[in-house]
């Protein structure tokens, strides 16, 4: 029998980076030696949001959820002994994408590499940051200008680079349905392409080159059939939009090119071993169908709902991909779903509904006005609230969480404190010390000149990439680059979507929410106030606000007056708001791992302000030992990913308010 032709496997990546450039470099080289075929760099939150490691908002966040890159020296160490000309590197970076690409290019030049051969992707989708992930810095219009400048620069100077990765991944994590995920990602792509072509930086005959470098980064959930049909609908709509709206004739330029990280939102803290089969199912949704197969895949680790995965956990996820690509016969066949009436019907339905929502956004003026008005955010908050309500009611089953909860003891989590990787808290001090040395040894006049030139260029319509490259070469830091542009562009606080979110859970007589509403009203009456007031705060730089928003919405529906000012607040700001609003409870949400640094600071400041009768509760990805430590500091209650019953959590908050005010249970 003749041997079948095998397709080339997709790029296999692991999203990784932590503590420092040196430690992350060692991790990358180990992963490449294990057969990983591309790099996916996770940057820490200060780097993503344009702060140096010694900024007050960076405290507790340095090296937590990624690698800190404060200047060119850090980027050199990150890629030491990794030839960038031969590498395909994905960088999850958005607001500061131009800066990180400039550092990457300069390091490649220093290695003697040919810049025109660099391959990889900068995520650079700022719209979804306003909606879901929260690492935005500048307002929408100047942010779109930075994206436009990057795209036009790379098309002309780094032609194999993907300068933007329209990212629907985080939209799904924020609650987007498949229809919304497609519609809002496509609306973002339209806004970006319209801006690029309107800038006058691309001649008419190069439009295909621009469209051909646009890539996407999507989320694959556990609903296998629906997710696969979503990808087929994505590809169909992209082909239609690029041909009809932009006149792109070459089918290669119209190809829907996407990478995927399968869903981390659906990973559970309860029975976390079940996450392995969830990850496998989600991977199959984006690999089985050749007509809609991902170009690159990165899988989370089974224990990411517990904390930071260890190298062994990441290796397991890489091996899952390798078994499918190299041991199975998947890559030997044409699309095995082509002609299926079930797949075609579901794909048609998703594409039709998504196109209708795209038209609705375009009628508002496009993605940017839809962000500024709060429409997109409110739609996602509402969808997420409905999803959570379905899980609470048992309509959507999550194994080990709301059904089949009995379990044998797991050897994987017998010692929870060693089942995840722990970042050395002393690492932050070492990074700050290294930053001080960098500043002391650089050419300060050249630094100041580069910053002033960047600010001057930002006041014109000049492409900002060249000025940014000079900043990189001069030794400017991440925070200095970002604050120079903050001075010109200003900053932006995105709409929270909480006030306009509809009621997702009814409070009819006999329901759990009705009982909590009655308890809220009785407690307010017992305290002699019109309404109980709950402050929901997100200290530090963690922008994953989905959980905080759902608590705020449900507390509102339970009769609380909710004070929620959005993300990125200092402990000082949170305490000031608690005092000014005379709240009855402070709820803190942190998913970045900085809870042991920031929560005790809030507690100390509350005590100094004389507010020691207000209970503080905390929610997030918090290991068991850390939860015990927080309770020892005085935290009234700790909620983690296993606490899915939001109404029950609101009831617990009321109980803590009653306890602290010495009202009977």
Please say whether the beta carbons of 23 and 351 come within 8 A: no
Catalytic residue among 52, 149, 542, 601: 542
Please say whether the beta carbons of 124 and 161 come within 8 A: no
What separation in angstroms does the CA of 600 have from each of 417, 543, 608? 21, 20, 12
Distance (Å, whole) CA 45 – CA 126: 15
Please say whether the beta carbons of 136 and 129 come within 8 A: yes
Distance (Å, whole) CA 561 – CA 528: 15
538 is catalytic: yes
How many Cβ atoms from other residues are within 10 Å of residue 428's Cβ?
A: 26
Catalytic residue among 253, 544, 584, 595: 544
258 is catalytic: no
Instruction: Tally the C-alpha atoms within 13 A of residue 203's C-alpha that lie toward its C-beta.
Output: 3
Distance (Å, whole) CA 320 – CA 279: 9
Catalytic residue among 71, 128, 170, 207: 170
- The angle at the Cα of 115, spanning 109 to 117, to the nearest 5 degrees, equals 135
Distance (Å, whole) CA 390 – CA 30: 42
544 is catalytic: yes
The string of DSSP codes covering 80-92 is: TT--GGG-EEEEE
Calculated CA dihedral for residues 278, 281, 282, 286, nearest 10 degrees: 170
Distance (Å, whole) CA 433 – CA 70: 12
Please say whether the beta carbons of 38 and 87 come within 8 A: yes
Distance (Å, whole) CA 436 – CA 170: 35
542 is catalytic: yes
Catalytic residue among 15, 51, 104, 564: 15
Alpha helical stretches, state H, 49-162: 72-78, 97-110, 127-128, 140-157
117 is catalytic: no
Q: Kindly give, in sequence order, each residue whose CB lies less than 8 Å from that of residue 284, ignoring residues fewer than 6 positions away.
A: 224, 324
Distance (Å, whole) CA 372 – CA 175: 19
184 is catalytic: no
Catalytic residue among 169, 184, 246, 564: 169
Alpha helical stretches, state H, 296-425: 311-322, 341-363, 367-372, 375-393
Please say whether the beta carbons of 649 and 551 come within 8 A: yes
Please say whether the beta carbons of 335 and 290 come within 8 A: yes
Q: Kindly give, in sequence order, each residue whose CB lies less than 8 Å from that of residue 368, ignoring residues fewer than 6 positions away.
A: 127, 140, 141, 144, 191
Q: Kindly give, in sequence order, each residue whose CB lies less than 8 Å from that of residue 656, ignoring residues fewer than 6 positions away.
A: 585, 615, 617, 636, 637
Q: Kindly give, in sequence order, each residue whose CB lies less than 8 Å from that of residue 49, ignoring residues fewer than 6 positions away.
A: 57, 95, 96, 135, 137, 482, 541, 543, 568
In 3D space, the residue among 614, 516, 546 whose CA is nearest the CA of residue 574 turns out to be 614
In three-state secondary structure terms, 571 is helix
Catalytic residue among 18, 538, 584, 595: 538
In 3D space, the residue among 359, 388, 344 whose CA is nearest the CA of residue 229 turns out to be 344
Residues with a catalytic annotation lie at: 15, 169-170, 538, 542, 544
């Amino acid at each position: 029998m003749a041997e079948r032709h095998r397709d080339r496997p997709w790029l296999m990546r692991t999203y990784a980076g932590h503590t420092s450039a040196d430690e992350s470099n060692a991790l990358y080289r180990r992963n490449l030696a294990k057969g990983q075929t591309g790099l996916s760099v996770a940057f820490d939150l200060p780097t993503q949001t344009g702060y140096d490691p010694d900024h007050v908002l960076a405290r507790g966040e340095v090296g937590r959820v990624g690698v800190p890159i404060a200047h060119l020296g850090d980027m050199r160490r990150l890629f030491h002994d990794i030839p960038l000309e031969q590498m395909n590197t994905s960088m999850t970076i958005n607001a500061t994408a131009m800066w990180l690409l400039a550092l990457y290019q300069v390091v490649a030049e220093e290695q003697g590499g040919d810049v025109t051969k660099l391959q990889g992707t900068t995520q650079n989708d700022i719209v979804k940051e306003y909606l879901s992930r929260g690492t935005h810095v500048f307002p929408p219009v100047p942010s779109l200008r930075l994206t436009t400048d990057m795209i036009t620069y790379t098309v002309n100077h780094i032609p194999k680079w993907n300068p933007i990765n329209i990212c629907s991944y985080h939209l799904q994590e924020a609650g987007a349905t498949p229809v919304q995920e497609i519609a809002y990602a496509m609306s973002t792509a339209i806004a970006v392409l319209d801006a690029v072509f309107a800038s006058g930086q691309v001649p008419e005959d190069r439009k295909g080159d621009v469209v051909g470098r646009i890539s996407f980064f999507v989320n694959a959930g556990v609903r296998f059939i629906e997710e696969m049909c979503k990808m087929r609908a994505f590809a169909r709509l992209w082909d239609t939009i690029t041909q009809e709206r932009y006149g792109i004739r070459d089918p290669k330029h119209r190809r829907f090119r996407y990478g995927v990280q399968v869903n981390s939102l659906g990973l559970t803290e309860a029975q976390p071993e079940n996450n392995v089969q969830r990850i496998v199912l989600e991977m199959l949704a984006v690999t089985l169908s050749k007509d809609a197969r991902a170009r690159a895949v990165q899988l989370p680790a089974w224990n990411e709902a517990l904390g930071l995965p260890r190298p062994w956990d990441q290796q397991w996820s890489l091996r899952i991909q390798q078994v499918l690509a190299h041991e199975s016969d998947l890559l030997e066949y044409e699309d095995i779903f082509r002609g299926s009436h079930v797949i075609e019907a579901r794909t048609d339905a998703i594409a039709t509904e998504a196109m209708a929502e795209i038209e609705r956004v375009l009628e508002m003026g496009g993605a940017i006005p839809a962000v500024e008005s709060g429409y997109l955010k409110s739609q996602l908050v509402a969808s997420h609230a409905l999803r959570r309500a379905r899980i609470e009611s048992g309509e959507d089953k999550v194994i080990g969480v709301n059904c089949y909860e009995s379990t044998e003891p797991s050897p994987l989590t017998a010692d929870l404190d060693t089942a995840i990787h722990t970042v050395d808290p002393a690492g932050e001090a070492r990074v700050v010390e290294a930053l001080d040395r960098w500043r002391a040894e650089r050419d300060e006049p050249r630094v100041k000149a580069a910053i002033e030139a960047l600010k001057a260029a930002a006041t014109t319509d000049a492409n900002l990439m060249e000025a940014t490259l000079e900043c990189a070469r001069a030794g400017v830091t991440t925070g200095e680059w970002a604050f120079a542009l903050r001075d010109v562009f200003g900053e932006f606080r995105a709409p929270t979507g909480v006030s306009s979110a509809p009621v997702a859970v009814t409070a009819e007589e006999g329901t759990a929410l009705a009982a909590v509403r009655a308890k809220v009203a009785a407690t307010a009456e017992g305290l002699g106030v019109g309404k109980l007031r709950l402050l929901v705060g997100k200290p530090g730089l963690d922008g994953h606000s989905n959980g905080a928003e759902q608590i705020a919405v449900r507390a509102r529906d339970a009769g609380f007056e909710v004070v929620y000012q959005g993300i990125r607040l200092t402990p000082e700001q949170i305490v000031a708001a608690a005092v000014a609003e005379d709240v009855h409870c402070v709820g803190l949400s942190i998913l970045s791992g900085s809870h042991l640094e920031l929560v005790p600071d809030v507690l100390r400041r509350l005590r100094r302000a004389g507010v020691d009768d207000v209970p503080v509760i905390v929610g997030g990805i918090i290991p068991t030992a850390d939860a015990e430590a927080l309770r020892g500091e005085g935290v009234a209650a700790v909620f983690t990913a296993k606490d899915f019953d939001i109404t029950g959590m609101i009831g617990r908050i009321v109980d803590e308010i009653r306890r602290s005010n010495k009202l009977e249970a």
